[in-house]
């Protein structure tokens, strides 16, 4: 192999390696409101913030007096220690719980944003401008993504009639080998629900 060929090989290998590194990197938000994926927020702290009596449910459903709905899930399911912490959080501008108890809070969760200012009502373009190209850009079809409605599925069948309008598109940010993830559900290019999680 001559020097020119060797140089081209090294350049191609470096470009490929860089591309693989970039694709593995979690580029989505780490913070939504008070919840930080990098920290360990006790579920009891969330209850205190929302001024809600603690419960052992998971997911735990809330409705804000500002018209926003939210559920949080506990981190992991294997040990009591893990279950003490928040593992994921979802906000939506439509009801997202049909069977679990829904707790009323005066906290204006609809104003919760990511550290970069993305939240309900943000546009698709603002998300991509902020976080870059998503890992996946998917259309919502059939029963896809209806698992964001807590209690909606019974024996693998979605039983809520009529089906709620959860949007038409989802931008996903994930990282290979990591549990960190974010999903932005949109209706006609506007965010109507978003979730960040470090659970499987």
Residue 4 has pLDDT above 70, yes or no: no
pTM: 0.84
CA angle 184, 59, 103 (to 5 degrees): 100
Q: How confident is the model at residue 78 (pLDDT cuts 50, 70, 90)?
A: low
Q: What does the pLDDT average to over 88-102? A: 94
Annotated domain spans of the chain: 3-197
126: pLDDT confidence band, cut at 50, 70 and 90? Answer: very high
Could you report the per-residue pLDDT of 158-194, keeping only the tens digit for each? 988 888 999 999 999 999 888 999 999 999 999 999 9
Q: What is the pLDDT of residue 146?
A: 94
Distance of CA 96 to the CA centre of its chain: 14
Burial state string for 102-131 with b = 16 or more CB within 10 A and e = fewer than 16: bbebebebbebbbebebbbebebeebeebb
């Amino acid at each position: 192999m001559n020097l020119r060929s060797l140089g081209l090989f090294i350049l191609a290998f470096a470009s490929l390696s860089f591309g693989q590194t970039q694709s593995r990197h979690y580029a989505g938000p780490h913070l939504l409101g008070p919840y930080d994926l990098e920290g360990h927020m006790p579920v009891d702290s969330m209850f205190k913030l929302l001024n809600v009596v603690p419960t052992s449910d998971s997911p735990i459903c809330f409705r804000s007096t500002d018209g926003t709905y939210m559920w949080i899930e506990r981190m992991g399911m294997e040990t009591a220690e893990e279950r003490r912490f928040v593992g994921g959080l979802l906000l939506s501008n439509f009801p997202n719980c049909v069977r679990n108890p829904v707790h009323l809070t005066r906290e204006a969760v609809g104003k919760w944003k990511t550290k970069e200012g993305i939240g309900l009502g943000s546009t698709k373009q603002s998300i991509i401008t902020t976080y870059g190209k998503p890992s996946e850009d998917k259309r919502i079809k059939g029963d896809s993504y209806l698992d964001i409605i807590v209690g909606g599925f019974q024996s693998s069948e979605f039983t809520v009639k009529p089906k709620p309008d959860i949007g038409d598109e989802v931008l996903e940010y994930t990282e290979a080998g990591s549990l960190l993830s974010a999903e932005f559900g949109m209706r006609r290019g506007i965010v109507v629900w978003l979730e960040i999680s470090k659970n499987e």
